[in-house]
Amino acid sequence: MSPASATPVSLDGLLLESADADFAVTGFHRVHSASVERIGDVARAYDEGAYLLEMITCEDRREDLKAMRLVYTFNRFAGDLDRHVVTVDLSGEIPGAEAPSINGVYPAANWFEREIYDMYGVTFSGHPNLKRILLPDDADFHALLRDFGRMEDAES
């Protein structure tokens, strides 16, 4: 598919919430949120629109949301810049929340999902190779969880 054939994405019925964002302030054009079950469909819709997956990351927001939140950003090469962010709230144990993998749609997701598994302990169902990526294989912690490795917790 050539980038010139990029079309606007049709996300009807896939999102929980959707809003325009001020690009000059936030760096995003649209801010969406989706349910964890529909993220595969959302990714497929972006793929059909010839968008690329810029990154996936995760936030440990248990203090205000009592949950983990996945953050996907999509962008496109062709036409004007159009950066969308899709947030997905996860429920469940921390660590150990689950989400479906979008590796089948975007191969780029492979390493991003492995990194989130490594750093936050979120498991991605359907991922072909879900193992630690940055930390050693025998590590017994998830490094970016809020309650791990805080400087103020160190014994002085």
Partner 1 sequence: MDPVRLPLPVVDAAPVVPAVAKPFVHFAVLDDLLNAARANSLWPLTFGLACCAIEMMAVGASKYDLDRFGAGVFRPSARQADVMIFAGTISRKMGPVIKQLWDQMPSPKWSIAMGGCTIDGGPFKYPNQYAIYEGADHLVPVDVYIPGCPPRPEALIAGILRLQEKIKKGEKGDARP
Partner 2 sequence: MRQSAGPTLERTDEADTYYLNMGPQHPSMHGVLRLLLKLRGEEIVTCEPVIGYAHRAHEKMAENRNYIMFIPNTSRVDYLSGMIYNIAFCQAIEKLCSIEVPERAEVIRIIACELNRIQSHLLWFGTFLLDLGGITPFLYCFDDREEILDILDRVTGSRLTYAYGRFGGVTMDVDQDFLVRTLAFVKRIRSRFPMYEKLVGENVIFRERCEGVGVITPEVARQYGVSGPTLRASGIGYDVRRAEPYGGYDRFDFEIPTRTAGDCMARFEVRMAEMEQSCRIIEQAVAAMPEGPIGPKKLVQRLKPPEGMFYFAVESARGHFGQYILSDGSNTPLKLKMRTPSFSNLSAMETVLEGTMVADTIAIVGSIDIVMPEIDR
- Contacts with partner 1 by CB under 8 A lie at 134-136, 139, 141, 143, 148-151, 153-154, 156
| Residue 74 contacts residue 35 (beta carbons within 8 Å) | no
CB of 93 to partner 2, least distance (A): 20
**Number of chain residues interacting with partner 2 (CB under 8 A):** 40
| Residue 139 contacts residue 132 (beta carbons within 8 Å) | yes
Question: What is the Cα–Cα distance from 151 to 93, expressed in whole angstroms?
Answer: 24
Residue 108 partner contact from partner 2, partner 1, none using kind-dependent CB cut-offs of 5 to 8 Å: partner 2
106 binds partner 2 (CB under 8 A): yes
Question: What is the Cα–Cα distance from 11 to 138, expressed in whole angstroms?
Answer: 41
Residue 156 partner contact from partner 2, partner 1, none using kind-dependent CB cut-offs of 5 to 8 Å: partner 1
Q: E-strand spans in the chain?
A: 17-20, 30-34, 52-60, 68-75, 84-90, 98-100, 123-125
Q: Which residues form the interface with partner 2 (CB under 8 A)?
A: 1-3, 25-28, 31, 50, 52-55, 57, 59-61, 71, 73, 77, 81, 83, 85, 87, 106-108, 110-111, 119, 132-136, 143-144, 149-151
